[in-house]
Chain A
Amino acid sequence: MFFRLVWGGIARRRWRALLTLFTMLLGVSLATAILNVMLDVGDKFNRELRTYGANLRVVPRSAAFLADFYGLEEGEGVTDKYLREDELPRLKTIFWAYNIVDFAPLLTTPVVLEGVDQPVTAVGTWFNQTLSLPTGDTVTTGVQGLKSWWSLKGAWPGEAASDPAGVALGESLARRLRLSPGESLVLTGQDGVRRTLPVTGVFLAGGREDGQIYVPLALAQAMAGKTGLVEEVEVSALTTPENDLARRAAQSPASLSAKEWETWYCTAYISSIAYQIEEVLTDARAKPVLAVAEAEGKILGKVELLLTLLAILALVASALALANLVTAGVMERRVEIGILKAIGAGDLGVISLVVAEVLLAGGVGGGLGYLLGIGLSDLIGQSVFGASISPHPAVIPLVLVLVFLVSVVGTLPAIRLLLRLNPREVLHGR
C-alpha cells in the first residue's frame, strides 16, 4: 500500500516528479564536479607550476670552498668537488621517487671557439636521456622537460659520446657567431682536442645560458677530463606546501620527535625530498631553490584555499536550491495530504510518505547527477590541463550525505506545515 502510494504520487504527477529529479540531478552533478575538481586541482596545478623549472639544486658538499681555501685543484685527487654520474639514477629510487618529475646534471667547462678570443662556457647535460633504474624501470629525463620555457629552433643534440651528435647554442652566442642549426663549429676543449661539431639547435632561454654552448654530458666530460663526474644536478619535484613542521625539520631534523620525523619523512615537503636525495648520493647537498619553492608553496596554497571556498559556496547554493525545491514541491500537495489525513492516515505515515518520495527522487537524480558530474569534471580537466580528472572515491559519501541532508532538511519546513494542516480546511479549498 505504502509503495503504491509513493509510486502513485510520482506517476500521477510525472511532470512534477521529473522536475524534482532534474533539479536533484543538476545539483548533485554540480556538487560532484566541483568536489572532484577541488580534490584533484592541487595535484594538477602543482604539475603546472613545474614549468618554473628546478626547485632543488644538488651540489657536492662544500664544493665551492675547497678550491678557495686550500688551493686544491683537480688532478690532486680531489673528486669530492663533483657528484658521480652513475649514482644519478638513484634519485628515482627515493621514497618520493614518483614526485621527481625531471632532473638534469650539469658540468661546465671552458672551451675555445674558432674566431672568438674569449673562452666560452660549455655546459654538458642530458637533453632527453633514457635511464634504466635499479628497479628495472626506465625513465626519460633531461633539459627538455626541465626548462619548458626555453624555445628551441632545431633539435637537441643526441646523447652518444663516441659519436658526438652535436651542440646547441644559446641565442646571443649564435647571433654573435652567425651560426644557425645545420651548420657546424670548431671548438677546442681543456683536453686540447680540436672537434668539428654540427650545430643541431639554437635555444632562447632569457638568461645567461643564451651566451653558452650546451653539449651532451659525455662530450663535456671528455673535454674537461672528468669522466663520470658532474658538478651539479637540477631537480624538479612535486612538493607539498611547507608548514611549521617542515620549517622546523629544515632547520634541524634532529629536533623532531620520532613520530614527527616519520610524518615529515613521509610527506613530500621540499626539505624531506632534499633530505632523501642526500641519503642516496655520496657527499651531496640538496638545496631548495627558494625562489621557486617558496613562491610555489604560496601560490599552491592560495589556489587550493580559493577552490575550497568556491566549492563550499557551490555546495551551499546547490543544497539550498534543492531544499527549496523540495519544500515548494511538498507544499503543493496539501490537498492530497489532506485527503490522506481525512481518511485516517497518521502523522508518521504522512511524513514517511513524503520523505520516501523525496528520497526516491534524490536517489535516482543523485545517481544520474553523480555520473553527469564526473563527466563535467573530466571536461574541465581536459580543457584546462589536458588531462582527465579522476573521480575521487571520497566524493561518493560526500554526495550521499548531501542528498540525504537535502532530502530531509528540505522537507522539514514542509512537514511542519503538513502536520498543522487541517484536512477540513484544505479540502474545502483554502
Chain B
Amino acid sequence: MGGKKVNLTQRARRLSLFLRLVTSSFIRRRARLFTALLALGIGATVISGLLTLQLEIPRQLAREFRSYGANLILVPTGEQGIMDVEDVEAVADLIPEEQMVGITPYRYASLSINRQPFAAAGIRFPEARKTSPYWRIDGEWPGRGGEVVIGGDIAETTRLAPGSRVRVAGHRASGGQVEREMTVTAVLHSGGVEDSMLFLELANLETILGQPGEVNLVEVSVDAPSVELQTIVQSIRDTVPSVTARLVRRLTHSEATVLGKLRLLLLLVVTVVLGLTLICVGTTMMTMVMERRQEIGLKKALGADNQAVAWEFVAEGGLLGLVGGGVGYAAGYFFAQLVSQEVFGRDLAPDLLLLPLTLALSMLVAVLAALLPLRAALAIEPAVVLRGE
C-alpha cells in the first residue's frame, strides 16, 4: 500500500517534471517556437486548403458545365409527337430538386409575323434562361402576355427591333385563323437554329392554338454525372412510359472526359504540392531538433535515459503539430473559401472531417521530423557533445 503510494507520487513528480520540460522548452525558445509553428502552420494550411478544394472543385465545376445547356431531352414515346404537361410534371418529380437546374417545355408551331411564316416555339422564359444560359438577348425578357422574342436572323431580314408592334397569326387546331397584335421585346442570338425562330410564352401560344396542356419537347438541365443521368433516364422509362428521355451525348460524354481530366490534374497538383510542402516542413523541424544536441547531451549526462528524452521530443513535436495543425486548418479553410468565392462566387461549407486529418498529418510530420535526427543525437556520447564538438 505504502509502496504504491510512493510509486504514485514518484510518477506524479515525473509527470510534472516532464510537463515542465516540455513547456519550458517552449518558453525558453520563443523565436524557435515561432519558426516551428510557422512551418507546421504552413504545412497544415496547404493540407486543409488543398484538400478542401480538391473535394469541392469538381462539384462546383460540374455546375459550371451546365452553361453548355440542357443535357437531358424529353420527347414523346411513339409517333404522335406530343405529350401531356402532366406527364412532364411527373418526370420533373423524379429528378432530385437540388440537382435540377432548369426544365423548359417547348411547343412548336408555325406562326406568321406580318404575313411571313416562321417556326415558333412556346416556352417558359424564366426556365429557358436556366436551361439555355448562353442565349444573348438585345432588349428585355418578356414579362407579360402579348410579347414575343425574335431570333437574330429574323430581326435582320424583317428589320424588326425591340419595341416594334407586330401582327402574329396562327392556325387553330380546330381550324380557322387567329391574329394577335404583339410587341417584340427582344432579339435573341444563339448561333444555332434559334436565330431563325420566334419565341413566346407557352400560355400565349396555347391561347393562339387553342390546345392547352401539350408540348413537343422538354429540355432539362440536371447537375449530375452521366452515371446518375442514366439512372434518371431508366427511372423515367419505368414510371412515365409515355415520355422518352434522351441524354445529350455531346454534353454528357464530353463532360465526363473534361471533368475527369480536370480532377486528375487537380489531384496531381495537390499531391505534388502536399508532398513537397510536407517534406519542406519536415526538414525545417529536423534542423531545429538537430541544433539541440547539446541539450540532449546535458540531459543524458544528468541521467535521463534515451527513452525519456525521446518521449519528451515526441510530446513536444506532437503538441507543436496539434497547435500548428489547428491554426493551419482554419487558415486553409479561409483560403479555400477565398478561392471558392473568387472563382465560383459561392460559399464553401467547412469539411469537419478534414480537421482530424489535418491535425493527424501535421502531428505525424512533426513527430517524425523530431524522431529521425534524434536517433543520431541519442547515439552520441554526452561527453563529446558537451565538450562542444
A interface vs B, CB < 8 Å? 15-16, 19, 22-23, 26-27, 29-30, 33-34, 37, 41, 45, 48-49, 51-53, 57, 62, 64-65, 68-69, 147-150, 204-207, 287-295, 298-299, 302-303, 305-307, 309-310, 313-314, 317-318, 320-322, 324-325, 327-329, 331-332, 335, 376, 379-380, 383-385, 413, 417
Contact = CB atoms under 8 A, between A and B. Distances in A.
Contacts of A149: 249-250, 253-254
A45 B157 CA distance: 38
A305 B339 CA distance: 9
Contact of A320 (B38, B68, B283): B38
Contact of A302 (B64, B190, B254, B283): B64
A424 B67 CA distance: 71
A206 to B, nearest CB: 2
B68 A292 contact: yes
Interface string B276-296: 110111011011101100000
Contact of A204 (B61, B135, B249, B264): B249
A288 B191 contact: yes
Contacts of A289: 190-192
Contact of B268 (A309, A318, A380): A380
Contacts of B122: none
Which 8 residue pairs are nearest across A and B when measured between Cβ atoms? Answer: A206-B249, A321-B280, A294-B134, A149-B253, A332-B291, A295-B67, A289-B191, A51-B254
B251 to A, nearest CB: 8
A30 B134 contact: no
Given A53-B250, A306-B339, A313-B46, A290 B269 contact: no
B134 A290 contact: yes
Nearest to A301: B343
Nearest to A49: B258
A16 B287 contact: yes
B23 interface: no
A41 B195 CA distance: 34
Contacts of B69: 291, 295
B49 interface: yes
The listed residue with most A CB atoms (<10 A of its CB), out of B132, B191, B246, is B191
Contacts of A205: 249-250
A125 B318 CA distance: 68
B343 A328 contact: no
Nearest to A26: B276
B335 interface: yes
Given A303-B262, A309-B342, 6 more contacts: A15-B290, A49-B254, A53-B250, A204-B249, A206-B250, A321-B43
Nearest to A50: B254
A307 B61 CA distance: 13
Interface in B25-48: 31-32, 35, 38-39, 42-43, 45-46
B257 A51 contact: yes
Given A306-B57, A310-B53, A417-B31, A68 B116 contact: yes
Contacts of A288: 191
Nearest to B136: A290
A235 B94 CA distance: 38
Contacts of B250: 52-53, 147, 149, 205-207
Given A30-B273, A206-B246, A291 B190 contact: yes
A302 B344 contact: yes
Contact of A295 (B53, B134, B261, B339): B134
B312 interface: no
Contact of A290 (B135, B252, B388): B135
Interface of B: 31-32, 35, 38-39, 42-43, 45-46, 49-50, 53, 57, 61, 64-65, 67-69, 116-117, 132-136, 153, 156-157, 189-192, 195-196, 246-254, 257-258, 261-262, 264-265, 268-269, 272-273, 276-277, 279-281, 283-284, 286-288, 290-291, 335, 338-339, 342-344, 388
A299 B64 contact: yes
A41 B339 contact: no
Nearest to B254: A51
B342 A383 contact: no
24 contacts: A19-B286, A22-B283, A23-B279, A26-B279, A30-B272, A51-B254, A62-B153, A64-B153, A64-B196, A147-B250, A149-B253, A309-B343, A313-B46, A314-B269, A321-B42, A321-B43, A324-B39, A325-B280, A328-B32, A328-B287, A332-B291, A380-B268, A383-B268, A385-B261
Contacts of B64: 295, 298-299, 302
Nearest to B118: A68
A303 B64 CA distance: 10
A329 B289 CA distance: 11
A306 B265 contact: no
Contacts of B342: 305, 309
Nearest to A333: B291
A242 to B, nearest CB: 11
Contacts of A313: 46, 49-50, 273, 335
A325 B290 contact: no
Contact of A48 (B42, B45, B248, B258): B258
B46 A380 contact: no
Contacts of A303: 61, 262
A309 B45 contact: no
Given A37-B269, A328-B35, A332-B291, A305 B261 contact: no
Contact of A26 (B43, B280, B339): B280
A318 B265 contact: no
Nearest to B286: A19
Contacts of A380: 265, 268-269, 272
A147 B135 CA distance: 23
B328 to A, nearest CB: 10
Contacts of A376: 272
Contacts of A335: 388
Contact of A294 (B67, B258, B281, B335): B67
Contacts of B31: 331, 413, 417
Contacts of B272: 30, 33-34, 376, 380
Contact of B39 (A65, A321, A332): A321
Contacts of B252: 206
Nearest to B249: A206
Contacts of B68: 52, 291-292, 295
Nearest to B39: A324
A386 to B, nearest CB: 9
Contacts of A207: 248-250
Nearest to A386: B261
Contact of A29 (B42, B117, B276, B281): B276
A324 B35 contact: yes
A299 B65 contact: yes
Contacts of B269: 34, 37, 307, 310, 314, 380
A306 B286 contact: no
